[in-house]
Structure 1
Amino acid sequence: MPTALSVNCRSSPAGVLVTVAGEIDATNAGRLESVIIGALRPGRPLILDLHGLTFMDSSGLHVLLRVRADVLARSGSLHLVAVQEVPARLLRITGVWDTLDIHDSVAEAVAAHVPAADLA
């Protein structure tokens, strides 16, 4: 039985915001990756709001790494927001945590890639 996963994409002047909730595992990682890749825009930041993500296995980790490579190839940037305890643990023990831009809030992620002159 597939694991529950909710994905919501929204484009804004600050980039593409993808909100992910539920669990990512081998049963739904491919769908998640397809939705995210379909939402990417060249040169635009991608913000993944993970505040509702309660579980992620290695399939989800691989999705993040492939998405990151795709975003960078398109001259964009990837920002993770509100990574919860279980997914954060996986990112830390695999060493991936230190390679990602991780923020506490969407506002913090937006501020990280908007030039200071644009915030005034």
Structure 2
Amino acid sequence: MAAELTLAHQHLPGVTVISVTGELDITNHAKVADYLCRSRQRPADQVVLDLAGLAFMDSSGLRALLSCHQDCLGQGGELRLAALQAVPARLMEITGVHAHLSVHHTVDQALSAALTKISG
């Protein structure tokens, strides 16, 4: 049985941190894409996705992340992924997507990079 997808966010100055837990797949990718767009406090916010609790992601989930990435760039922000687990990390590696997104080992590293971008 698939793990239920849960989403939560918090706002920091210029940064929206979104935690994604469970499984991201064809059954819920539209919910995630909508949530990622709606949860930013300002359109130009930096977005950090905390994926430490994301156990599984398929290609439709990856498409939702790429859509958010494009939306962020178009609004003057940037998407950063943090704490990827083995299965989602493998999907990004075999598709080559990791080379086009900002991927960080920890949420703290992603936050630091986002705050540097804001102040810099």
> Partner letter of residue 17 of structure 1?
V
> Partner letter of residue 23 of structure 1?
E
Kindly state the Cα deviation for residue 2 of structure 1 after the two structures are TM-superposed.
Answer: 7.5
RMSD: 1.7
1:61 is aligned to 2:66: no
TM-score computed with the length of structure 1 as normaliser:
0.90
Counterpart Cα distance in 1 of 2:79 and 2:63:
14
Change (3 A) 1:26 1:3: farther
1:32 is aligned to 2:29: no
Counterpart Cα distance in 2 of 1:43 and 1:4:
30
Query: What stretches of structure 1 move > 3 A for 4+ residues in a row?
Result: none
Alignment of 1:34-113 (within 5 A): 34-40=34-40, 41-113=42-114
Instruction: State the partner residue of 2:17.
Output: 17
Kindly state the Cα deviation for residue 111 of structure 1 after the two structures are TM-superposed.
Answer: 1.4
Counterpart Cα distance in 2 of 1:79 and 1:36:
12
Write the deviation string for residues 18-74 of structure 1: whole angstroms up to 9, x where unpaired.
000000111111111111110122221000000000000011010011100000000
Gapped runs of 5+ residues in structure 2? none
Gapped runs of 5+ residues in structure 1? none
The number of equivalent residue pairs is 117
Kindly state the Cα deviation for residue 14 of structure 1 after the two structures are TM-superposed.
Answer: 4.7
> Partner letter of residue 94 of structure 2?
I
Kindly state the Cα deviation for residue 95 of structure 1 after the two structures are TM-superposed.
Answer: 0.5
> Partner letter of residue 107 of structure 1?
D
Contact 1:3 1:28 in 2 (8 A): no
TM-score computed with the length of structure 2 as normaliser:
0.90
Instruction: State the partner residue of 2:8.
Output: 8
> Partner letter of residue 30 of structure 1?
A
Kindly state the Cα deviation for residue 12 of structure 1 after the two structures are TM-superposed.
Answer: 1.0
Kindly state the Cα deviation for residue 114 of structure 1 after the two structures are TM-superposed.
Answer: 2.2
